[in-house]
Structure 1
Amino acid sequence: MKRIQLDNVYSRTKTAGLASVEMTFIVPILLIIMMGIFELTQVIQANNIIISISREGANLISRNSSQTPEQVMDTIASTSDPLDLNQDGIIYINLVVGREDDGGNPIDPVLSQQYRWGDFGYTASSSTWSGCSEWTGDDNGICNMDSDPVLTDFPLQLDSGESVYVVEVMYRYSPISTLIFDSDFTIKEITYL
């Protein structure tokens, strides 16, 4: 009888010791997995916010003639919470106009106007056209172009006189830890409307 009790005590002690050793190995792995899931969730959320801001900006600028591009950019940037576009973002609004050759065939469009958000906190070049050398206006938000630049690699074919607004939103994402991403990277969205 005493031998059976000693075997039960020994067996319970051995099981408890194995459980604590298993936990020592498993808990760090679970924490790493949880941090990775949290980081990826933050990136997905930031990407969704940037997509929404870009689409809403294109919607507002293409339908609203009473607001200036700067007012539209201020409006959409104010909806970016929890992202801080004033510190880590930049917005461009471009007006691209189609044209045709002498035979009436569409050719490469031109950039008619380019606006940059005045309260930006992150410096990044526009993907539509990055050749602006002088920004003017109240918030230094209007590109001073001598002539309308031709956009040879524009992804849309426009008919003569047809115009499209291109809204670009860029955000510098700083990872919470270096577990998955080892440095900052840019989340970018471009909307054509």
Structure 2
Amino acid sequence: MNKRLSYQKNRGLASVEMTFLVPILLIIMMGIFELTQVIQANNIIISISREGANLISRNSSQTPEQVMDTIASTSDPLDLNQDGIIYINLVVGREDSSGNPLDPVLNQQYRWGDFGYTASSSTWSGCTQWTGDDNGVCDMNSDPVLTNFPLQLDSGESVYVVEVMYRYSPISTLIFDSDFTIKEITYL
């Protein structure tokens, strides 16, 4: 009879332990799932930015808008049409009359026409008027000087800067309690 009583106590104790452990294990599993979703979204944004810089820097026959459409179409499972924006900037180096390097200028700026998320470009956010078929070209009166540009460019040297931004909405509020922006900038 003592064996039977001992077995029932252990069985009851196991039920109590499971009652406490199952919620904790579910929270950990949901956190891991959410974190893997963020990592996947970040990797996709990095890949899109790099591929965009690669395509636009080759001087292909595609326009910047076509390049942005192409790279956005590869963003599955992310929906850039609803939660993303892409910028392509052409930055050109310059020098003064003595040959000393000056801060580079923004020669052209393009914004993806099918964006669904409004965010400013980190390269230059001063564009007040967008023109073109898809409102994708910044209408600049002069080339703005980029005083905080992270690269030193020689006179006439140019670099494309591709910026991809995505608003990530968490599946649950377990780890992240509000939307946040995943952003990648590629210089090529």
User: How would you bin the TM-score normalised by the shorter chain?
Assistant: over 0.9
- Asked whether 1:80 is paired with 2:49, we answer no
Equivalent-residue separation in structure 2 for 1:148 and 1:64 (angstroms): 21
User: Which of the numbers 159, 164, 167 marks the counterpart of 2:159?
Assistant: 164
* Alpha-carbon offset, residue 26 of structure 1: 0.3
Paired position in structure 2 for 1:19 = 14
Partner of residue 131 from structure 1, selected from 126, 129, 134 = 126
Cα displacement (A) at 1:104: 0.4
One-letter amino acid of the counterpart of residue 9, structure 1? R
Query: Equivalent residues in 2 for 1:25-174 (5 A)?
Result: 25-174=20-169
How far apart, in 1, do the equivalents of 2:60 and 2:22 lie?
58
What CA RMSD, in Å, does the superposition of the two structures yield over aligned residues? 0.5
CA deviations 1:50-80 (Å, max 9, x no partner) are 0000000000000033000000000000000
Following TM superposition, the consecutive aligned residue runs of length 4 or more in structure 1 with deviations greater than 3 angstroms are none
Letter aligned with residue 119 of structure 1? D
How many residues were matched structurally?
Answer: 188
Distance 1:92 1:50 in 2: 13
Q: Please report how far the alpha carbon of residue 106 of structure 1 lies from its aligned counterpart in structure 2 after TM superposition.
A: 1.0
Query: In structure 2, what is the Cα distance between the partners aligned to 1:192 and 1:62?
Result: 10
For residues 112 and 26 of structure 1, what CA distance do their matches in structure 2 show?
A: 60
State the SS of the aligned residue for 2:108: strand
Q: Residues of 1 paired with 2:154 and 2:51: CA distance?
A: 25
TM-score, length basis structure 1: 0.97
Q: Give how far 1:38 is off.
A: 0.4
Give TM-score, length-normalised by structure 2.
0.99
CA distance in 1 between partners of 2:16 and 2:98 (Å): 80
Larger Rg over CA atoms? 1
Once the two structures are superposed, residues 107-130 of structure 1 have per-residue CA deviations (whole angstroms, 9 ceiling, x without a partner) of: 100000000000000000000000
Gaps of 5+ in 2: none
Return the alpha-carbon distance in structure 1 between the equivalents of residues 21 and 88 of structure 2.
50
2:187 to 180, 189, 192: 192
Amino acid paired to 2:158: S
User: Which secondary structure does the structure 2 equivalent of 1:91 belong to?
Assistant: strand
After superposition, give the CA deviation of every residue in 1:145-173 in whole Å (9 maximum; x if it has no partner). 00000000000000000000000000000
Q: Percent identity?
A: 89
CA distance in 2, matches of 1:165, 1:153: 16
Query: Match for 1:158: what amino acid?
Result: L
